[in-house]
Structures are given as structure tokens and as C-alpha cells.
Structure 1
Amino acid sequence: MMITEISAVNFRQNLGEMLNQVQYRHDSIVINKDGKPVAALVDAELFARIRRMQERFDALNNRISEAYAGVPAEEGLAEIDAAVTAVRKQR
């Protein structure tokens, strides 16, 4: 799989070719506007996997938020800092 960067103007001019690249070669296209990435074209299967991953991440994030709902922010941040420090010491 290859990732190609292309300007929005070139993308519009070569849309058919870009769709073929994504559909048949499973490449991804990053579309730049004014030199900055603004969108990406990926095959539908990859997009479906990304959406499933996002849904799982959101569900996990919600569970964590609910678990810490009654914890003051400073206490939660201190716990995170302690966990990061412990992991760094293990390395």
C-alpha cells in the first residue's frame, strides 16, 4: 500500500485515476490545499475498519470518563502522571 499526496487541483483533474489507485491498489491519497492536508481518500474496507476502531475508542473513552466522573481533575491528572512515570522507569 502506498500513500500519495496530491493537490486539490490535481486531484480534481485526475479523479478517475485516483479512484482506481484506491480501489484496485488499495493506496491512500492525501489531498492538500494550500500545501496543507485537508482530506484523505482511502478504500472503503479501510474506512470501515477506521470507523469500527473509532467506535471502540469512543466507547472505551466513555467508560473511562464515567469511571472518573467523581474524581477531581487534579487527582485524576496526578494519577495519570504517576502512571506515566512508572512506565518510563520500566524502560
Structure 2
Amino acid sequence: MINEVNAVNFRQNLGEMLNQVQYRNDSIVINKDGKPVAALVDAELFSRIRRMRDRFDALTTRIAEGYAGLPEAEGMSEIDALVAAERKR
């Protein structure tokens, strides 16, 4: 479950919210002035997110290197065409 709390409530109930994350696998979105500014998630989920981000960064670097010699519009057009063809499959 994902709960949303404001920063003051989070600060006042930190221990309880840590228990929710640790034992119930909940996630907490912390809002400040009505806008989300941070999230508290269990350590295992955070590790998965970091691994996914690292893989995404590596993939985007490879794509950027592969299209380095093309004008941006041409490269984006080719990528869009490849994505569309793959979705049809």
C-alpha cells in the first residue's frame, strides 16, 4: 500500500512509519506544501530501483553512442520507426 503524509506528520510519526515500511512493505510518499518531495520504501525495493536505473542509464548511453553521428531528428525518427515495428510484432 502507498500512503501519503505531510512532512510534519511524517516527522511526528517516523517510528510508526518505519514499521509500516519494514513489516507491512508499505511505501510512504512525503508531501511538502501539497507536493510530493520524497518517498520512504523498504530497502529491497530501493535496491531494485537502483539496479533498474543503472541498467536504464547503461542502455541510454549505448543508444546515444550508436546515434552519435546522426542529426537528432533523424535518429529519433529511426528509433520511433523501430519501436512501431516492434510493437506490431
Length-normalised TM-score, structure 1: 0.88
Once the 2 structures are TM-superposed, how far is the Cα of residue 12 of structure 1 from its aligned partner? 0.3
Letter of the 2:64 counterpart: S
Once the 2 structures are TM-superposed, how far is the Cα of residue 79 of structure 1 from its aligned partner? 1.6
Q: Report the CA distance shift for 1:82/1:57 in structure 2 as closer, same or farther (over 3 A).
A: same
Give deviations 1:60-83, integer Å, cap 9, x for gaps. Answer: 111111111111112112223434
| Counterpart Cα distance in 1 of 2:43 and 2:86 | 37
Number of the residue aligned with 2:11: 12
Identity of aligned residues (%): 77
Q: Report the CA distance shift for 1:87/1:59 in structure 2 as closer, same or farther (over 3 A).
A: closer
Number of the residue aligned with 1:34: 33
Number of the residue aligned with 1:82: 81
RMSD (Å) for aligned C-alpha atoms: 1.7
Letter of the 2:74 counterpart: E
Residue-pair matches, total = 89
| Counterpart Cα distance in 2 of 1:45 and 1:81 | 34
Contiguous gaps of at least 5 residues in structure 1: none
Number of the residue aligned with 1:71: 70
1:29 counterpart SS class: strand
| Counterpart Cα distance in 2 of 1:81 and 1:56 | 21
Q: State the 4+ residue runs in structure 1 displaced beyond 4 angstroms.
A: 84-88
Contiguous gaps of at least 5 residues in structure 2: none
